[in-house]
Amino acid sequence: EIVLTQSPATLSVSPGERATLSCRASQSVNSNLAWYQQKPGQAPRLLIYGASIRATGIPARFSGSGSGTEFTLTINILQSEDFAVYYCQQYNHWPPMYTFGQGTKLEI
């Protein structure tokens, strides 16, 4: 099983600032990594796939980077609606055994 470790567990940032979230894989997942945002009581929302491709309708302030085992989600000029929990997910394993990171809570 590929283990994804997200850091930090909680990130405190002020609106208007930049947030940098990390996701480390226990073995290479190439670029087969996605990022999701989840707000309380809501389903996850796809932000990034292919490590760096923004999903449809996702604002340009969200960007993803990395490959192999080290990945980063950057959120520029934080808006109030960006405060949520963020999960990374790998889909490189074959046969499919998708795994998620434990999440990073982005708080004000």
By CB under 8 A, residue 86 contacts other proteins:
no
Contacts of 51 (CB under 8 A, 6+ apart): 31, 32, 33, 64, 65, 66, 67, 71
User: How many residues of this chain interact with other proteins, rule: CB under 8 A?
Assistant: 25
CA–CA distance, 35 with 56 (Å, rounded to integer):
13
Nearer to other proteins, 31 or 76 (CB): 31
Show the tokens assigned to 53. 């491709």
In this structure, what DSSP letter does residue 108 have?
Answer: -
Asked if 21 is part of the footprint of other proteins (rule: CB under 8 A), the reply reads: no
DSSP bridge pairs for 89? 34, 100
Segment contacting other proteins (CB under 8 A): 14-22, 60-68, 69-77, 92-100? Answer: 92-100
Q: Is residue 37 a contact residue for other proteins (CB under 8 A)?
A: no
Cα of 71 vs its chain's centroid, Å:
8
46 scored as a contact of other proteins (CB under 8 A)? yes
Q: Which chain residues interact with other proteins by CB under 8 A?
A: 32, 34, 36, 38, 42-46, 49, 55-56, 87, 89, 91-92, 95-103
